[in-house]
Amino acid sequence: MIIDWMNKKLRKTDAWDMGLIKCSSMAFVLFVITIWPAAMSWVHSVNAWYFFAAFVIFGARPFYRYYIR
Quote the pLDDT of residue 66. 79
Choose among 17, 26, 24: nearest CA to 9: 17
Residues 29 and 43 placed together within one structural domain of the fold: no
pLDDT over 80 (residue 69): no
What does the DSSP 8-state code read for residue 13?
A: -
pLDDT over 90 (residue 1): no
Residues 6 or more apart in contact with residue 32 via CB below 8 angstroms: 39
Residues 31 and 46 placed together within one structural domain of the fold: no
Residue pLDDT, tens place only, 13-67: 888 888 898 999 999 999 999 999 999 999 999 999 999 999 999 999 988 887 8
Quote the pLDDT of residue 17. 87
Residues listed for the chain: 69
Residues 68 and 44 placed together within one structural domain of the fold: yes
Cβ atoms of 34 and 40 within 8 Å: the answer is: yes
- Number of structural domains (the chain) is 2
Residues 65 and 52 placed together within one structural domain of the fold: yes
Residues 42 and 69 placed together within one structural domain of the fold: yes
Give the range of the structural domain holding residue 69, as residue numbers without chain letter. Answer: 37-69
Q: Is the pTM of this model over 0.75?
A: no
